Structure 1
Amino acid sequence: MAVMSMMGGAQARRAQLNREAVLSATPVRLLTMLYDRLLLDLNRAEAAQGRQDWQVASDNLLHAQAIVSELSTSLNVEAWDGGDGLFSLYTYASTAMMSANTHRDAARTRECIDLLEPLRLTWHEAAGMLPAQPVAAARVGGVLGIG
């Protein structure tokens, strides 16, 4: 009983630290955090599909879709020439995730990973080149799974 109480306390502390990290993150850091979580969800979904653990796969694919939705709605397509293309990629990835979930198709999940991982790496590289700009981010906390 005491061990479970200690584990619950550690989980609550970790959740609090994660919330604080999100609330103090720069916009660029929030973007990289979203991409990190997106790829984590997709990799977990693919592993669960391999085990035929359909509930875990579905939960992770749904969360990945929520992240892509957040990325899509926050994208200003008019801010740069590639905006429309990135929006189209998000739309395609979201549709592929729905298909991967509905049809229990690990190949579609892998396709999403292969499509989005290079973007994750590129955003991390770009983030390393920019100066820090702190901002509060209440909405993103829930998408990252810490809200």
Structure 2
Amino acid sequence: MPPSNFAAARNLYNRDSVLSASPARLLVMLYDRLLLDLARAETAQLGEDWTLASAQLLHAQEIVTELVNSLRPDIWDGGPGLLGVYNYVLAGMAQANIHRDVEKTRECITLLEPLRLAWHEAALKVSMHEAAMRRDAVG
């Protein structure tokens, strides 16, 4: 398959994966990409590739902004705390970008990685529960 056809097929697969994903899976996908962006930003900062670092940090900020916009802190007692974490890392990513501060990027990674792992675990539990419900419904 020529490279352009491969890229088009990969893009189509990725689009279909997002469109067919459950809300829990979408959240996990966002967190995975967020941490990937931050890791890439850290690597770029260490290599003094400020253009790439900035692009990665800006994309990470877009993801966290989406997480903020989709959060409903009024219906979950942990919501206000999570909103506080999101606001803190948004400010940290901005500072990491403005001041070219790899330590700020690392701090954001340190704060977000446990959340990513927790969402992975929660999504797995939801998936297992849904599978058990389907199995019970079939008989």
> Do the structures match in fold with TM over 0.5?
yes
Structure 1: distance between partners of 2:59 and 2:44: 14
Which has the greater radius of gyration?
Answer: 2
How far residue 33 of structure 1 moved from its aligned partner, in angstroms, is 0.1
| 2:112 is aligned with 1:116 | yes
Structure 2: distance between partners of 1:55 and 1:7: 26
- TM-score normalised to structure 1 length: 0.85
Structure 2: tracts of 5 or more residues without a match: 131-139
Task: Count the aligned residue pairs.
Answer: 129
Q: Which runs of 4+ in 1 moved over 6 A?
A: none
Deviations 1:25-83, CA, capped at 9 Å, x for gaps: 00000000000000000000000000000011000000000000000000000111110
Report the counterpart of residue 105 of structure 1 in structure 2: 101
| 2:50 is aligned with 1:54 | yes
Aligned pairs for 1:1-147 within 5 A: 6-131=2-127, 132=130
Q: Percent identity?
A: 57
Letter in 1 for 2:4: G
Structure 1: distance between partners of 2:7 and 2:42: 25
Structure 2: distance between partners of 1:108 and 1:6: 41
Structure 1: distance between partners of 2:92 and 2:20: 33
Structure of greater relative contact order (alpha carbons < 8 Å, 6+ residues apart): 1
Letter in 2 for 1:54: W
Q: Which has the higher helix share?
A: 2
- TM-score normalised to structure 2 length: 0.90
Structure 2: distance between partners of 1:117 and 1:24: 25
